[in-house]
Amino acid sequence: MTGIVALYIFMLAAFTGYEVIAKVPVILHTPLMSGSNFVHGIVLVGAMVALGEAHTNLEKTIGFVGVLLAAGNAVGGYAVTERMLEMFKASGARQAGAKRGGH
């Protein structure tokens, strides 16, 4: 990938991120922050490559910690976001929600 292509990707992705979030209602701020927190868990693939190409023990140790942290970011981010969003229901689903809520 040449530098200028990478810059194009960077610019377009920055606009995309802005546009996707621009009109989000306040009620979804917390889930969305959690969701975007999950998305940067993609650092996992970079950490895997870093550890996979590590030679010295120092590199391996740091790479190992990196993969461990990145996996935590991805999995934890997914789990809390999913837990939160699972609970959002409209009135139509009220009966089901009420049953859980009553106890």
Partner 1 sequence: MSLLSASLLIQVSYLLTAFLFIMGLKRMSSPVTARSGIVWAGAGMVVATLVTFLYPGLTNYPLIMIAIAIGSAIAWISARRVAMTDIPQMIALYNGMGGGAAAAIAAVELYRGEPLGMVVGSLAVIGGLIGAVSFSGSLIAFGKLQGLIKKSYRFRGQQIFNLLILAAALADGGMIVTGAHPGAGVVTALFSLALILGVTMTVPIGGADMPVVISLYNALTGLAVAFEGFVLGNAAMIIAGTVVGSAGTLLTQLMAKAMNRSLGNVLFSGFGDTGGVAASGTLTGSMKPIEAADVGVMMAFAQKVIVVPGYGMAVAQAQHKVWELCQLLIDRGVNVRFAIHPVAGRMPGHMNVLLAEAGVPYDLIADLDEINAEFETADVALIIGANDVVNPVARTDKSSPIYGMPILNADKAKNVIVIKRGQGAGFSGIENALFYLDNTRMLYGDGQAAASQLIQAVKAA
- Report 15-54 residues binding partner 1 (CB under 8 A): 15-18, 20-54
Interface with partner 1 includes 4 (CB under 8 A)?
no
Least distance (Å) between residue 61 CB and partner 1: 10
Q: What torsion do the CA atoms of 21, 27, 29, 31 make, to the nearest 10 degrees?
A: -110
The yes or no reply on residue 101 touching partner 1 (CB under 8 A) is: yes
Please count the other Cβ atoms lying within 10 Å of the Cβ belonging to residue 74: 19
Q: In whole angstroms, how close is the CB of 5 to partner 1 at the nearest point?
A: 9
Q: How far apart are CA 50 and CA 64, in angstroms?
A: 9
Question: For partner 1, what does the binding mask look like between residues 60 and 99, x meaning CB under 8 A?
Answer: x-xxxxxxxxxxxxxxxxxxxxxxxxxxxxxxxxx-xxxx
Which of 78, 88, 83 is CA-nearest to residue 28? 88
Smallest distance from partner 1 to CB 63, Å: 5
